[in-house]
Amino acid sequence: MQLTGSEVLVECLKEQGVDTIFGYPGGAVLNIYDALYKHQNEIRHILTSHEQGASHAADGYARSTGKVGVCLATSGPGATNLVTGIATAYMDSVPMVAITGNVTVPLLGKDSFQEVDIAGITMPVTKHNFIVKDVTKLADTLRLAFKIAITGRPGPVLVDITKDVTAAKTEYTKVVPEKIERVTETIKEEDLVTAAQMIKEASKPMIFVGGGAVISEASEELNTFVDLVDAPVCDTLMGKGAFSGEDERYTGMLGMHGTKTSNLAVTECDLLITIGARFSDRVTGNIDKFAAGAKILQIDVDPAEINKNVITDHSIVGDIKMVLRRVNDKLTQHNHSEWIQHVLDMKEKYPLKYNKDILTGPYIIEKVYEITKGDAIITTEVGQHQMWAAQFFKYQKARTFLTSGGLGTMGYGLGACIGAKVANPDKIVVNMAGDGCFRMNMNEIATATRYNIPIIQIVFNNHVLGMVRQWQSLFYEERYSYTVLNDAVDFVKLAEAMGAKAYRITKKEEVEGVLKEAIELNIPVVIDCQIQSDDKVWPMVAPGAAIDEVFTEEDLKK
């Protein structure tokens, strides 16, 4: 049948099972929006307050479901406003298709009104991108974009469509999407045998889990693997929930703000089994001293990550779920009770601590965990609150902790929270933000109230840029250069002005009642929590130091 390019786009979205997109209209995408209007009962469109909010919402939708998130923006500034969200998704391997409009083909390259080379701009931060100038190629391009976004190591794909293509007509025939197969052709039998032998020879194995295990949905296989190897488990920021934080063998996060136990255990182990992690600098500290006494076995779907940051002794390339299944078949039951007991003793000796006499970020997070019984999706911005959320909430399932790990995007969490709640309407979804982060994209509260999306926004309001101030305190002799937010902004009034219910908490005794009421109301809620300016995230590894040089506040005083 003959359809316009805009109608072809909508039909292709329906082919791919897209039920929700996040976007903001403009001149170059008017035809697309007209087509969406006619199909609003089939595809829900969420109008965000800013295009960046749309990209983060699509990201949160994707991370919480494993499906491809979709965002839409007009040409020029509309497209460039998506870039930070696209880069965020790229760094954390999030499947996303970003659709942008552009000027008509005759106007390309002529500095036309609201023209920008968005394909060129996003080339370094997309898995692939396209510009469509021929309506006959639109459908196949969109189908390929979705396939690329979700295949292997996922990532964002940009499809830029000129306005004349959205108006032109072409023949459209529905196509059922092909099943996306997991990457298995790179899994070699000899690699599996070598891995099993390395595990057999180890007396102090340590399992290190990254975001790849979440993306691959390998929790069941990972649990079996941990049981067979009989080893303690640590994780990255992105790996939270792949292995339950409630399991006694779980030692917490590794790296700059990882637990003392994880950092010391990785330093002491004789085999580090790395599953879907890329050895970020925030994890390894001083590369030359990282797990220096251990052999390193790395499992990852992306061959580019092997030996990129840390030289491995052996590696297996392939889908994490499938690799673990096949490795598990080759393993016998191991027993490392003495090693595990040593690690458990360290857990008891070096627990995470905070001041329990006053209102603090960790206290609030523990209360959220207690009240929700851990059955919630937590999104965060970036900074101290993000680290506290990683440390003090025990993630029991994958896809329940959504945060900007690789890019560290302040302003990410609120949009992601909206996207996650839209995708998971029956879940409690909470965004945790510092006051510095919240003010970056707090206009998305208006999006939540417009559609009555019942998110809970907690602001850890310490009136400073907390993480930067922490570094200034420890490494810059307390020179607080432009990190004090001593203005008159009232988040309660702002939230109320945007239509949300708002609370201000100043003491511990208020936390439980407010949280319970916020959950019960089932409407958009903002909670402004006044905490101290000099609260810090402990423990910490100084930049450039080895991870076993991790120190706490008590160590610093000594």
417-443 pLDDT, tens digit per residue, is 999 999 999 999 999 999 999 999 999
Active-site residue flag, 51: yes
Q: Does domain 189-349 have CATH number 3.40.1190.20?
A: no
Domain ranges of the chain: 2-171, 189-349, 361-537
Task: Give pLDDT, residue 558.
Answer: 83
Average pLDDT over residues 179-185: 95
Catalytic option among 467, 472, 501, 536:
467
Q: Left if phi > 0, otherwise alpha if psi is -120 to 50, otherwise beta: which for 2?
A: beta
User: How far, in Å, CA of 358 to CA of 349, rounded?
Assistant: 24
Contacts of 108 (CB under 8 A, 6+ apart): 102, 115, 133, 162
Catalytic option among 42, 113, 349, 370:
113
- What is the percent of the chain with per-residue pLDDT over 70, rounded to a whole number? 100
User: How far, in Å, CA of 15 to CA of 70, rounded?
Assistant: 14
Give 303 or 555, the one with higher predicted confidence: 303
The reply to whether 189-349 shares the fold of 2-171 is: yes
Please give the CATH number for the structural domain made up of 2-171: 3.40.50.970
Residue 467 token pair: 């993480």
Active-site residue flag, 123: no
This prediction's pTM: 0.97
Catalytic option among 7, 11, 16, 51:
51
The 10 Å CB-count burial string (b at 16+, else e) for 425-441 is eeebbbbbbbbbbbbbb
**Is 547 strand, coil or helix?**
helix
Any idea which fold 361-537 has? Rossmann fold (3.40.50)
- The position carrying tokens 């994880």 is 262
User: How far, in Å, CA of 290 to CA of 548, rounded?
Assistant: 9
Q: Quick one: pLDDT band at residue 156, thresholds 50, 70, 90?
A: very high
Q: Which of 75, 80, 73, 165 is nearest to 113 (CA)?
A: 75
Catalytic option among 67, 163, 260, 501:
163
Contacts of 69 (CB under 8 A, 6+ apart): 22, 57, 58, 59, 60, 61, 62, 89, 94, 95, 96, 97, 419
333-381 pLDDT, tens digit per residue, is 999 999 999 999 999 999 999 999 999 999 999 999 999 999 999 999 9
Residue 236 token pair: 């990255």
Task: Give pLDDT, residue 556.
Answer: 86
Task: Give pLDDT, residue 386.
Answer: 98
The DSSP secondary structure of 268-317, one letter per residue, reads: H-SEEEEES----HHHHBSGGGTTTTSEEEEEES-GGGTTSSS--SEEEE
Catalytic option among 14, 114, 137, 217:
114
557 pLDDT higher than 90: no
Contact 445, 419 (CB under 8 A): no
Active-site residue flag, 114: yes
